Amino acid sequence: MEKMTVRDIDVSSKRVLVRVDFNVPLDEKTGAITDDTRIREALPTIKYLIDRGARVILCSHLGQPKGKVVDSLRMTPIGERLTKLLDKRVAVAPDCIGPEVEKAAAKLGKGDIMLLENLRFHAQEEQNDPAFAQKLAKLADVYVDDAFGTAHRAHASTAGVARYLPAVSGLLMEKELQNLGGILTSPARPFAALTGGAKVSDKIDMLQNIMGKVDAILVGGGMAATFLKAKSYEVGQSLIEEDKVDLTGKLMDTMQNKGVRCLLPVDVLVAERIEAGAGTEIVPVDKIPKQLRIVDIGPKTIENFSNELKRCKTIFWNGPMGIYEIPQFAEGTKRLATLLAGLKATTVIGGGSTADAVTDMKLADKMTFVSTGGGASLTFLSGKPLPGVEALQDKKK
C-alpha cells in the first residue's frame, strides 16, 4: 500500500513536525560539517512546506550522545548550514521538548523554520517512550517523516509520534520508497546485485529476499572471505564469520538452483596490515598466504565484474569492494563506481559507505539514485517492515 505524502494534505498555516536525517559527518577537530548531502536531500520537502505557508519544526538526531547532552553534538552547525542553503534564518531551539520549546513553536509565523535540539540528548527517543513522543507531538498539528535513513528504527520521533498526529511521508521518503521498491517489483533485466562491505550477516536477509528477482549476484569486500571459506579456500588472516560459513554455502546452492549467477573474486589484493603504507600483493584466491588478509578485489575480478555489469539494465550496489578508507585498498571500489557512472542502466546505490564513496568521487549525480539510508535500504530490500514507514497513513484507493 502506498503511503500518503505531504502533497496529499493541506499544510497551510499548520505547525508541521518534520523528522529529517541530519546525522551528518563532522570534523573531529573543528566540529564543521564535512558532507552536507543529507541536509541538501531534505531541502525539497522543507521548501515545499515553506512555499505553502507551513510553520516548520525540524527534528533530527546527530551522532550517538546516548541520552546525555554532548556539546560537540549540538545542532547549531546544522542550523547555520540550513540558514545558508535556504537563505532564510533557521532558529535552533534550546531543547527538543518542554515548555520553552512549546512557546517557541507557538510563536512561529507562516514560512518560519525552527530546528529542535538533538533528539538523542534524551534516552527516551531511542526507547520509543510514549510520553516523549507525546511531548514531541504537542509541538505540531501534522507529522511528516522525511528521514528514510532512520525508518528501520522504531524510535519516538519515527514510529512513536505518528500515533498522536496525522502522519505522512516527505518527498525524500517518497523518492526512496519508489526507487528501492521499483527494483524489487519491476526491474529492467538483466538485474544484478553488487554486494560488498565487511559482514555477510548484514546482507544475508537481503540476498535471500532478492534471490528470485536478480539474475546475478557479485560478491566483493570483506564478506567475500566468508563466501570463499564456504568453498573451502584458504583466506589467511581475513576476517570471516565462522557461524555464517555453512549458511553462506547453502545460499550459494540456492543461487545455483534458482539459476542466479554468483560471481566471487578470482584474485584479491592482500596485505599484512590494514594501514596505509602496508606491503601488498595480488594473488589468485587459491593462493592466499596464511599470514596475509584480503583488503580489495584484484584486477581480474574487476574485469569479470565489469563484464557482467555491462550486460545489465538494473544494478543495485551496497558495500565497497575493499577497505575504501585507505586509498591503496580502494581500487576495486573506484573502478566499479566509475563503470556504473558511465552505464545506461538503472543504477541504485544502497546508502551507507557506498553512497559516501560515490559522493567522494563526485559520481553521485551520474547514478540513477543514491539512497540516504544504508541500514534502512538493506532492511527494505530484505522484505522486512520499516517501523517509520509502517506508521504513516496509507493512501486511499
Which residues are catalytic, by number? 38, 199, 352, 375
CB 43 within 8 A of CB 175: no
Q: What angle do CA 142, 144, 147 make, to 5 degrees?
A: 155
Task: Please name the amino acid found at residue 140.
Answer: A
> How many Cβ atoms from other residues are within 10 Å of residue 295's Cβ?
23
> How many Cβ atoms from other residues are within 10 Å of residue 269's Cβ?
24
**Residue given cell 504513516 in the structure block:** 392
Q: Beta 142-145 vs 113-115: how paired, if at all?
A: unpaired
| Cα–Cα dist 340/363, whole Å | 9
Burial annotation 313-349 (CB, 10 A radius, 16+ → b, else e): ebbbbbbbbbbbebebbbbbbbbbbebbbebebbbbb
Q: Which of 36, 170, 51, 65 is nearest to 113 (CA)?
A: 51
* SS3 call for 174: helix
CB 138 within 8 A of CB 82: no
User: Quick check: bond before 190 cis, omega within 30?
Assistant: yes
Task: Please name the amino acid found at residue 395.
Answer: K
| Cα–Cα dist 337/62, whole Å | 28
Beta bridge mates, 218: 194, 263
Helix axes 331-342, 352-360, angle to 10 degrees: 80
